[in-house]
């Protein structure tokens, strides 16, 4: 049975969000500063197609310990552009792979899918229903 996000707390874990909505202009800036290798592997979204982050339908996150707020250890660090970032990477400690699997199970139970190149990146199932936005953060009302 898939682990739901709500079931993380009794296990002593919560979610630590790194990134969510991202204006299209930020995606363009990332693309312009990326190496060709980072683009080819898929670590950077092509602004010509937009990003799921630009639609408000992607989130970058990890697990944290509820008692301390400390990030758990994963097979790679966040935004690490290496093979260790791939969700299917078999290296790292058994504990780090267990934590990566726990995060993935919790997110998939809520309708998200993991990106093949980044264990921390999850796309919402209905992302195609939303358009690309370029609203700057300072223009977003709380």
The catalytic site residues sit at 118
Specify whether the CB–CB gap between 43 and 117 falls below 8 A.
yes
Please report the DSSP string for 57-79 in residue order.
-EEEEEEEETTT-PBPP-SS-TT
Q: Smallest Cα–Cα separation from 125: which of 135, 110, 138, 137?
A: 110
Half-sphere exposure at residue 30, Cβ-oriented, CA atoms within 13 angstroms: 20
């Amino acid at each position: 049975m898939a682990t739901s996000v709500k079931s993380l707390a009794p296990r002593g874990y919560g979610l630590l969000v790194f990134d969510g909505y991202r204006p299209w202009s930020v995606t363009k800036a990332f693309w312009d500063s990326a190496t060709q290798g980072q683009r080819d592997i898929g670590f950077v979204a092509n602004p010509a197609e937009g990003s799921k982050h630009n639609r408000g339908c992607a989130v970058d996150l990890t697990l944290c310990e509820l008692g301390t707020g400390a990030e758990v250890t994963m097979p790679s660090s966040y935004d690490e552009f290496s093979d260790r970032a791939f969700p299917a990477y078999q290296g790292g400690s058994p504990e780090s792979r267990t934590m990566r699997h726990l995060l993935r199970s919790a997110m998939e139970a809520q309708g998200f899918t993991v990106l093949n190149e980044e264990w921390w990146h999850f796309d919402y199932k209905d992302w195609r229903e939303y358009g690309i936005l370029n609203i700057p953060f300072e223009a977003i009302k709380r």
